[in-house]
Amino acid sequence: MAQKLTLKKIAQELKVSISTVSKALRDSHEISVETRTKIQEYAKQYNFKPNNIALSLKNQKTKKIGVIIPEIVHHFFATVISGVERVANEKGYQVIICLSGESFDKEVVNMDMLANGSIDGFVMSLSKETMERQDFHHLREVTNQGMPIVMFDRVADDIACDKIIIDDVEAANKATDFLLRKNCRNLGLISTPDYVNVGRLRTQGFKEALMKRGFEVDDQAILKVEDIENCGDKIKAFLTDGKYDGLLAVNELFAVTASKILQGMGKEIPKDVAIVAFTDGMLSKYASPTLTTIGQKGEEMGGLAAAKLIQKLESDHQEDETYETVIVKTSLIERESTP
């Protein structure tokens, strides 16, 4: 039985990366003429067409939405999916989900697969690796051909498309301010590396709130954790000198990990250390003590993203090139981890 040629197979065969194949087939000048020619000839020989978007757009609509997200273990992405499903189903659309697993290559391959006539448009949040590389050629390719994308949470600033975000700076500002008003004076932040935009923006909001109130910003008081699943050791080392009386964490896993470590050190929460998290998921609700958190409104974001996409898909003015960035309001949900 004939096996379909894929970007990945071409990459393996010619010993280049998937993104090189992807770019070469789009005749990108980032790739040397020699490599481009080699890849294009190989593709031609096997009659491989990288992207039939234009073709599918000329034909009938699929009434399907493709969702590409980094992973589903975290509650936030799961709630976004619920919102997408709710609105999509109301409007007669089906939802197909693919995971990038935080991998750039998987994101490229999944987008390429879905864009080939399986769906009408994308709702997506970028993989960590894509943010790190700042390589968005696969998104540009899709939008250039007229297939709409709505990005949420982890967005690329320089891609022209609709975006659904929270104001991360303002939210972190609000959370930091809240800790200061509760008389915390030695604040620590547990964040992600700066290439993850939400981590960078929340770090910025944290710093701004401190400066606005006349506190010094100590870079030693900001921990940037790369490996979310194995954050324990890093957080333990960060907390070991016991100097913080208030902590802000950019997700609930960091917050609950810090809470457990502090309790293990004999600290009482919130008496000795107050904690504010981001994401109102299972962990925030069921941890002991329960966590005060910034609710990210994942369900609402997913619903808005789907509504926006469907509006674009069903608009008579497909050529309309105005894009909107919707900022969803966050709320601080007070629970037991703050006084």
Q: Which of 29, 271 has the CB closer to its own copies?
A: 271
* 301-to-85, 87, 297, 306 alpha-carbon distances in Å: 12, 11, 6, 9
- Which residues from 95-134 bind its own copies, rule CB under 8 A? 95-99, 101, 106, 109-110, 113, 118
Contact range with its own copies by CB under 8 A, out of 76-84, 124-132, 140-148, 201-209: 76-84
Q: Which of 32, 37, 82, 315 binds its own copies (CB under 8 A)?
A: 82
Q: Which of 263, 267, 326, 339 binds its own copies (CB under 8 A)?
A: 263
Per the document, the length of the chain is 339
Q: Which of 36, 50, 85, 126 binds its own copies (CB under 8 A)?
A: 85
The least CB distance from residue 322 to its own copies, in Å, is 21
Which tokens belong to 97?
């989900």
The least CB distance from residue 194 to its own copies, in Å, is 26
3-class DSSP state of 332 = strand
Q: Is 1 in the site for its own copies (CB under 8 A)?
A: yes
Site string for its own copies, 22-61 (x = CB under 8 A): -------------------------------------xxx
Q: Which of 37, 94, 134, 331 binds its own copies (CB under 8 A)?
A: 94
Q: Which of 235, 287 has the CB closer to its own copies?
A: 287
Q: Is 78 in the site for its own copies (CB under 8 A)?
A: yes
Q: Is 266 in the site for its own copies (CB under 8 A)?
A: no
Q: Is 296 in the site for its own copies (CB under 8 A)?
A: no
- Considering just the CA atoms, what is the radius of gyration of the chain in Å? 22
Sheet holding 274-278, edge to edge: 222-224, 187-191, 246-249, 274-278, 292-295, 331-333
Q: Is 6 in the site for its own copies (CB under 8 A)?
A: yes
Q: Which of 88, 304 has the CB closer to its own copies?
A: 88
Q: Is the peptide bond before 289 cis (omega within 30 degrees of 0)?
A: yes
* N- to C-terminal Cα separation, the chain: 66
Would you give the distance in Å from CA 177 to the centre of its chain?
Answer: 25
Cα separation, 39 vs 20, in Å, equals: 9
Q: Is 288 in the site for its own copies (CB under 8 A)?
A: yes
Closest listed residue to residue 269, CA positions, set 251, 253, 285, 291: 291
Q: Which of 85, 162 has the CB closer to its own copies?
A: 85
Cα separation, 240 vs 227, in Å, equals: 19
Angle at 223 between CA 130 and CA 180, to 5 degrees: 120
- Specify whether the CB–CB gap between 63 and 92 falls below 8 A: yes
- Specify whether the CB–CB gap between 83 and 306 falls below 8 A: yes
The least CB distance from residue 111 to its own copies, in Å, is 11
User: Which residues sit at the interface with its own copies, rule CB under 8 A?
Assistant: 1-4, 6, 8-9, 59-64, 72-73, 75, 78-79, 81-82, 85, 89, 92, 94-99, 101, 106, 109-110, 113, 118, 253, 256-257, 260, 263, 282-283, 286-288
